[in-house]
Structure 1
Amino acid sequence: MRRLSGRAASSPVALFLAPVLILLPGVAYADNGWSEAQRGSPLVLSTSKLVFEDLFNTPHTLSGPILWAKQHADVGLERFDPAGGAAYSIAGGVLKLRAYQAADGIHSGNVQSTNANQAYQGAQIVPGRNGFTCVGCYFEVRAQFPNARGTWGAFWLLTPDDPRRRGHLEVDAIEYFGAGDKRGHHHSIHRWGPQEPGGHAKRSDYTGMDAIADFGWHLYGVDLRGIAEIDGKPALVVYMDRKEVARIAADADFFTRPFYFNMTLSINPQDSVRTLPQTVSFDDLRVYK
């Protein structure tokens, strides 16, 4: 597991088990399998049905049974607050993750649709009742990123880690690095596990988007239904405002394994300027199958 700062993780177990988002702002991967040939094509959901929705119109404890805070290891310069911490608020139909300076360092938040036992130890997931995962689905959230420096905001997916054979898949629908890279839409797929050289393989892409630079509300999604193609192979497709950003032909297990979602605000250790406090807002979380 690659850490992005010199600070130790919460525990050796968390370090071993928990995946991280790969941070490579400003780097393009035009020759890494991603295609933007159909950029701007509209998302089609007419053959799919809504299987999950959270509009954040009701109180949440972020301690289950579906959404949990602080299940993932800290990944940037911050420490993730546990449920009930100052990093989290829900009001007016919006989930807000706040990064702030405290006496013991920077704090922020991560919310995901599994608890740690489900994510890393094989505990049972009953989608929509006890956690949430989905196989072959389109995942989407509405988000507003701040006009701030040091931002590392993300909407991303993971497969639960099988304790009998370590390894998991990761899809980053959007990683956003704030005012220092205000047009940057970063998206990636990752494969983690001892079977990979160095424990990790990735295919990442950077796309400059004028619309994202307004720091307004936008829809961010990723399609794992396997109905799109590249050269006759099933493709994973990233969307912004339900218009295609890029696609990549992915291995079959990206379309046949269950994924859970994460909403995250970290602080980028590679940005020399950091705005604190800062907030990322999320709303209209939906999954279609």
Structure 2
Amino acid sequence: MFVIFIASVPVLPYPVPTAALAQETIDPTSFELVFNDDFDGLDVTAWGPGSRWIAHTPWNGDFGDARFVDPGPDFPFTTRDGILRIEARKGANGKWQSGLLASTDGKGDGFKQKYGYFEMRARFPAGEGVWPAFWLASRGEEKAIEVDVVEHYGHFPGRYTASLHIWDRKAPALSKSFHERVPVDAGALSTDFHSYGVAIDASRIRYFFDRREIWSIETPRELAHPFTILIDLGLGAGWPIENTPDPSVMEVDFVRVWSLPPD
């Protein structure tokens, strides 16, 4: 049953306060499943083509204080019992390395979708400096839309951040960002698995934690291209990493995408 499109949630041209959405839930099991990775194995190459995932952003841009490296036999990705492990650790040179997965390659080949319900179930590492994320990227010649379903900064174990960014690639000063800090029980994101989801249609973007809606914002009119899925274990994000546990591991149970039913 699809229960979030109801009269009690008005369509407004600004973010809806979290408290107003506290009782709205989503059950995607009756939707059409169009992408599913349960990580019984991992189909990844450095740059493609032909693999389900590549190990870099399609636009070849790293970020944070760990370098995202090509996949090796046991680092930075391993799978066991249907769980993907993304590991961050220091190399022999003292530099941090970690892993990122993207669902399209540099030519745009792979899985991408504009509207739908996107979800990841994962457990995050604990500790200062860790920066795990599940996000979507839609890139055009002039505008890029980024939907951060979850970014967790290890310095703040009692919350995570959901965001929307409208990047102006030709005039960066005109870019816009919107954020929602989502409170959780301190340490809950590293002690157990939780699901992080986002439902995107032509009018609104709705964010979910354990399939309960926690934020809503109008879909930007600049959204014109389908989204690539990205998962990564970054480090830093402006916070110091001298106390970051070595190694740190992000565990992912699944990534799934459904098509939404007609409104």
Q: Provide the TM-score with structure 1 as the length reference.
A: 0.75
Moved over 4 A (4+): none
Give the corresponding residue for 2:130: 151
How far the C-alpha of 1:51 sits from its partner, in A, is 0.7
- Pairwise CA distance, 1:76: 0.7
Instruction: Name 2:213's counterpart in structure 1.
Output: 244
**TM-aligned CA distance change 1:145 to 1:48, over 3 Å:** same
- The amino acid of 1:106's aligned partner reads W
Work out whether 1:140 is the aligned partner of 2:119: yes
Q: Give the alignment partner of residue 167 of structure 1, picking from 127, 130, 143.
A: 143
Q: Per the alignment, do residues 149 and 166 of structure 1 end up closer, same or farther by CA in structure 2, a change over 3 Å counting?
A: same
CA contact (8 A) 1:139 1:221 kept: yes
- Deviations 1:87-127 (Å, cap 9, x if unpaired)? 11122211111110013310001001011232xxxxxx3xx
Report whether the alignment pairs 1:274 with 2:244.
yes
TM-score (norm 2): 0.81
In the alignment, which of 163, 168, 175 is matched to residue 200 of structure 1? 175
Equivalent residue pairs, number: 235
Q: Distance in 2 between matches of 1:265 and 1:214?
A: 14
Shift of 1:183: 1.6
Amino acid at match of 1:92: D
Residue number in structure 2 paired with 1:177: 153
Q: Tell me the residue number matched to 1:96.
A: 85
Q: CA deviation at 1:283?
A: 1.9
2:90 counterpart SS class: strand
2:44/2:52 contact within 8 Å kept: no
Of 195, 199, 209 in structure 1, the residue corresponding to residue 184 of structure 2 is: 209
Match of 1:68 among 54, 76, 84: 54
**Residues 196, 33 of structure 1: alpha-carbon distance in 2 compared, 3 angstrom cutoff:** farther
- Label 1:263 to 1:197 Cα distance change in 2 as closer, same or farther (>3 A): closer
Q: Does 1:187 pair with 2:159?
A: no
**CA distance change for structure 1 residues 177 and 251 in 2, over 3 Å: closer, same or farther?**
same
* 2:4 match: none
Question: Quick one: distance in 2 between partners of 1:98 and 1:53?
Answer: 22
Q: Answer with 204-213 or 214-223: which moved more.
A: 204-213
Alpha-carbon distance change, 194 to 244 in structure 1, aligned in 2, over 3 angstroms:
same
Report sequence identity in percent: 27
Cα pair distance change 1:57/1:225, threshold 3 Å: same
Paired letter, 2:225: R
Paired with 1:92 and 1:242, the residues of 2 have a C-alpha distance of 24
CA deviations 1:149-170 (Å, max 9, x no partner) are 21100000001x34xx243110
5+ residue gaps in structure 1? 1-31, 119-124, 126-130, 227-233
Give the C-alpha shift of residue 196 in structure 1.
Answer: 4.7
Supply the RMSD in Å over aligned alpha carbons: 2.2
Q: Corresponding residue for 2:204?
A: 235
Bigger Cα displacement from structure 2, 133-142 vs 266-275: 266-275
1:287 aligns with 2:248: no
Kept after mapping to 1: 8 A contact 2:200/2:219 = no
1:46-87 CA distance string (max 9 Å, x none) = 663111111011342434422111234221111111122721
1:13 matched residue in structure 2: none
Deviation, structure 1 residue 34: 4.6
Secondary structure at 1:73's aligned position in 2? coil
1:197 is displaced (CA, Å) by 5.0
- The answer to whether the 8 A contact 2:123-2:189 is kept is no
Is 1:257 matched with 2:225?
yes
Q: Which amino acid aligns with 1:82?
A: D
Partner Cα distance (1:116, 1:212) in 2: 36
- 2:106 aligns with 116
Amino acid at match of 2:193: W
In 2, the alpha carbon distance for the partners of 1:34 and 1:196 equals 28
Which amino acid in the other structure matches residue 35 of structure 2?
F
1:250–1:98 distance in 2 versus 1, CA, 3 Å: same
The Cα shift of 1:192 comes to 1.4
